[in-house]
Structure 1
Amino acid sequence: MIDESIVVDLHSHTSASDGQLSPADLVARALHKGVGVLAITDHDTTAGLAEAHQFNQQQSNPLQLIDGVEISTRWHNFDIHIVALNVALDDQPLQDFLSNQRQLRQTRAEEIGARLAKAGIEGAYEGASALADGAALSRGHYARWLADNGYAVNPASVFKKYLARGKTGYVPNNWSDMATAISFIHQAGGVAVLAHPSGYKLSAKWLKRLVREFAQCGGDAIEVILGQQSIEDRNNLIALSKLNGLTASLGSDFHFPGSWIELGKNMFRPKDVQWVWQSDAWRAHGADMDSNLALSQ
């Protein structure tokens, strides 16, 4: 059995991508919030992990830090994110793939800036770039800049008003397909997790199709416990994981301190669910979470 007193959060972001806390500050906050196992999963980069590990190792009671990355992929013109857990950071093919992803991200970001400028919103690209401060530029940085400059009441409403499909600043994605991303994850010794499946606002039919095709592409797990969700959503995702032979993962998708999403918040683990760290895929890739998850199976 797993000691349920240990809080596990396998999806979080730092300032290395579109999070607002430095890697060290994120680890410090996780420790403060009682998180025992944390995965840092920045968008298309592992750049923040060295700092996170260095800070964590300096603590008297460090947490278990899992090396991860969140990879953007294309599926029927939707942006679908895959969280890679327990990847080898020195795997050169993976790093080359992520480098190409960041270049695609930059190209898309420049086009978003151009479209906003054409619509009369000048300085958005420069402002978003300043917020990124050297990190891979994302729509999240645009959302912050637009909200900060009065174009919407908050970053979430920016997406609805400017960055969603069909809106002024929307630019179609140019990512790799799911199968390619999963193959690089596996080659780097990691497991592939479908991130926040209910967050794509798909119909029930399309969500079932997404999970089924993710499994057919070689995916290992899906997030069934999210930072904010209904009991109905949680139960539906658990059912879809079992139907498609996928293990379960959980994560807050933390980006910044706020009243809704917090590290480790609502990361409870229902019974009769096989978690990703209990899977053959995880064990095959050599992950060792036993000391922190208090496995006594």
Structure 2
Amino acid sequence: MSALHLMNADLHCHSNVSDGTLSPEAVAERAHRNGVELWSLTDHDEVGGQHRARDAAHALGMDYLPGTEISVTFADKTVHIVGLGFDPDHPTLVAGLAATRGGRERRARDMADDLARVGIPNAFEGALKYVGNPDLISRTHFARYLVEIGICADPHEVFRRYLTEGKPGFVPHRWAKLGDAVRWIVEAGGAAVVAHPARYDFTPNEEYALFVEFKSHGGIGVEVVTGSHTPAEYQRYAEAAREFALLASRGSDFHDPTESHTDLGTLPALPGSVTPIWEALSHRILRA
């Protein structure tokens, strides 16, 4: 296995600029402490923490790739597309992300109204206590509030009982189109990556269609090793990367020290049969 495969790159995680609980600086410190060599902060639909993250990474001696995670609607499901190595100040990307964030408050108020109907009042105000960026109030913030008031023991129980399709508090949201999200990333000089594909519960035909359309718009990568994948799924998506001629990415999807299944920098290496996406992005890496 090459040195590039063995690099401790963590290219998917979140700060309190979106739905993480730590500041960009604290996430950088945790990544560095866990041996991360190449890092990217990928807050949801937001690039507001990018300059802070870059500066913190460089102060610690880590190389950095600008990042974000964009929510899109595909086959009536929410799919996440990670962007890496772009210009975080590019006007097309900034405007597109702002448009995607629009509507989150209305959705959040509708979620709170639905929770009130099953005996959980004031959930909107409760969720706001956990929001670092009011433009990005999300289900995760509601989950933290439901744990705080004793409705559930942890966020995983919340998502089993509430906030998901068919359960109280679920309100669908129409996100960006797949082609638009990929275009914003590419026009800003970056690479688009399908995040944690095993999470979407697609049929084989739907997953095939996702990868085909994603590539047709200019997407070039897929997360193979990520916090929500099993070892069997590492191999499954390594095979998908080869089948669709996609580059392979690796990221913990870290949000919080107690909530996240996987800590920053603790994933196994990429399988030797794939090409790491950071090889193609070497010219976009901001060196420490």
TM interval, short-chain normalised: over 0.9
Residue of structure 1 in register with 2:185 after alignment? 185
**CA–CA distance in 2 between the matches of 1:148 and 1:201?**
30
Q: Distance in 1 between matches of 2:143 and 2:118?
A: 16
Q: Which runs of 4+ in 1 moved over 4 A?
A: none
Corresponding residue for residue 54 of structure 2: 53
Helix, strand or coil: the match of 1:222?
strand
1:10-62 CA-to-partner distances (Å, cap 9, x unmatched) read 10100100001111100011111110111100001111122223333333xx1
Whether the 8 Å contact between 2:5 and 2:272 is mirrored in structure 1 is no
Which residue is 1:237 aligned to? 237
Could you tell me which residue of structure 2 aligns to residue 28 of structure 1? 29
Contact 1:84/1:193, CA 8 A, preserved across alignment: yes
Normalised by the size of structure 2, how large is the TM-score? 0.92
Greater alpha carbon shift after TM alignment, 206-215 vs 257-266: 206-215
Distance 1:205 1:157 in 2: 30
The offset of 1:215, in angstroms, is 2.1
| Residues 38-49 of structure 1: pairs in structure 2 closer than 5 A | 38-49=39-50
Q: CA RMSD in A?
A: 1.9
CA distance in 2, matches of 1:18, 1:144: 10
Quick one: structure 1 residues 99 and 122, their matched pair in 2 at CA, closer, same or farther if it must change by over 3 Å?
same
* Residue 3 to residue 176, structure 1, CA distance change in 2 (3 Å): closer
User: Which position in structure 2 is the counterpart of 1:268?
Assistant: 269
Asked if 1 retains the 8 angstrom alpha-carbon contact of 2:196 and 2:229, the reply is no
Give CA deviations for 1:79-103 in whole Å, capped at 9, x if unaligned. 1000000110110111111111111
- Alignment partner, residue 117 of structure 1: 116
Q: Deviations over 1:121-179 (max 9, x none)?
A: 11110111111033411111111111221222211121121111111111112101101
Once the two structures are overlaid, the 10-residue window that deviates more, 265-274 or 68-77, is 265-274
Match of 1:95 in 2: 94
Alignment correspondent of 1:295: none
Does the CA-based 8 Å contact 1:9-1:267 persist in structure 2?
Answer: no
Trace 1:151-230 onto structure 2 (pairs within 5 A).
151-230=151-230
Aligned ranges 1:272-283 → 2 under 5 Å: 272-279=273-280, 282=281
Cα distance, 1:251 vs structure 2: 0.6
Aligned identity (percent) is 33
| 8 Å Cα contact 2:64/2:285 also seen in 1 | no
Distance 1:204 1:150 in 2: 39
Tell me the distance in 2 between the aligned counterparts of 1:95 and 1:201.
Answer: 30
CA distance, structure 1, for counterparts of residue 209 and residue 160 of structure 2: 25
- AA aligned to 2:221 is A
- On the 8 A contact 1:69/1:83 being kept in 2, the answer is yes
1:138 has 2:135 as partner: no
Contact 1:82–1:193 (8 Å) recurs in 2: yes
- Shift of residue 272 of structure 1? 2.1
